[in-house]
Homo-oligomer: A and B are copies of this chain.
Amino acid sequence: MIRAAVIPEPHQPIEIRTFPEPEIEPGAVILKTLASEVCGTDVHLWHGRLSGVPYPLLPGHVSVGEVAATGGEVTDIEGATVRVGDIVTFLDVHETCHHCWYCLVGRATTRCPKRRVYGITYGAEEGLLGGWSERIYLKPGVKIVRLRQGVTPELWIAGGCGLPTALHAVDLAQIRLGDRVVIQGAGPVGLNACALALASGAGWVGVVDAAAHRLEAAKAMGADACIALEDDPVRAVRAATEGRGADVTVEASGNPAAVAQGCEMTRDGGRYIVVGQYTDNGPAEINPHLHLNRKHLSLQGCWGSDFSHFWRAMEILSRFHARYPWERIVSRRYTLTEIPDALSDVEARRVVKAVILPNG
């Protein structure tokens, strides 16, 4: 029998349930889970803040596993055969239809009505489709990527779902060599964005957060300046930029009030990426004249990521893991039965990233 941690319904205690060993269909893969994660979305799922979630839910959308069985010949995204013992990860987003207006014309696959996500929109009654489990069942067609040189399971989880998200944001930020960059928020997305901005050749990277231990992680990651939210970050950024403001700002805080402050931190004609507002935390005030029009601001909302970000995240981690200490994003490891602690630690921001080790 397979043990897994399940959210039975919103606000209810996590339960350890057992599932039968799944039967494998052609094209499917069964993984022995090596590592999964608790991210901010999991806290929202626990509190029932996302709509359309089929409880009971087996969470864990980014995970790494060792291949335990394959349903005949299965290939990874490079076309190489997947074999028992391979260490792989997979894209949690599954079954975008490639047939509707959003997939084909709008190129906004996150709006595809057939889109399903491991650990979020697949329910526990549909099988082992989340990472808080000793085994994960990869349905036929799930996109499989093997871990590259130097990328351990825990390092991949340290990047976690925040890394492709941050990569999408940093791509959109179009950082040029020497640009001065501010990251608002030093959570998993913000710390990844900090590393990626540095790796992109930013001339200066400042990180803003309210929590000292998060700013320490940013410092370890290489941030040039760690700015406490209470210390007038707009003034601090202007002081570091000859009074002009940042060339690029990336919002990764989830706080609606950060948006007006981010506009103010960015220079006239600068670029501002809003990637942290993943749940509806209510409205915010901005001044359209001062913050948008007069500033000639370029503001880009960034939602989700696609497979290209996931694939490139692996390349980037393999390339840069020795230069930027991604492992510092991981604050603590938890077994399946410790997941309630992990959820409350993430919620209270006591840890940056919680790693789940279902088999250990």
Contact = CB atoms under 8 A, between A and B. Distances in A.
A105 interface: yes
B285 A292 contact: no
A259 B263 CA distance: 15
Contacts of A170: 177
Given A106-B244, A107-B269, A259-B292, 8 more contacts: A78-B101, A99-B141, A101-B311, A201-B316, A268-B303, A277-B289, A284-B286, A292-B299
A356 interface: no
Contacts of A98: 98
Interface in A266-307: 267-269, 274-304, 306-307
A280 to B, nearest CB: 4
B99 A77 contact: yes
Interface of A: 77-79, 98-102, 104-108, 110-111, 141, 143, 167, 170-171, 176-178, 196, 199-201, 203-204, 242, 244, 251, 256, 258-259, 267-269, 274-304, 306-308, 311-312, 315-316, 319-320
Nearest to A287: B283
Nearest to A111: B268
Closest 8 CB pairs of A and B: A292-B301, A277-B293, A296-B303, A277-B288, A178-B315, A299-B299, A277-B289, A108-B269
B296 A110 contact: yes
Contact of A311 (B78, B105, B278, B288): B105
Contacts of A176: 171, 312
A302 B294 CA distance: 7
A266 B320 CA distance: 24
A104 B111 CA distance: 17
A293 B289 contact: no
A284 B292 CA distance: 12
Contacts of A295: 301, 303
A155 to B, nearest CB: 16
Contact of A106 (B268, B290, B302): B268
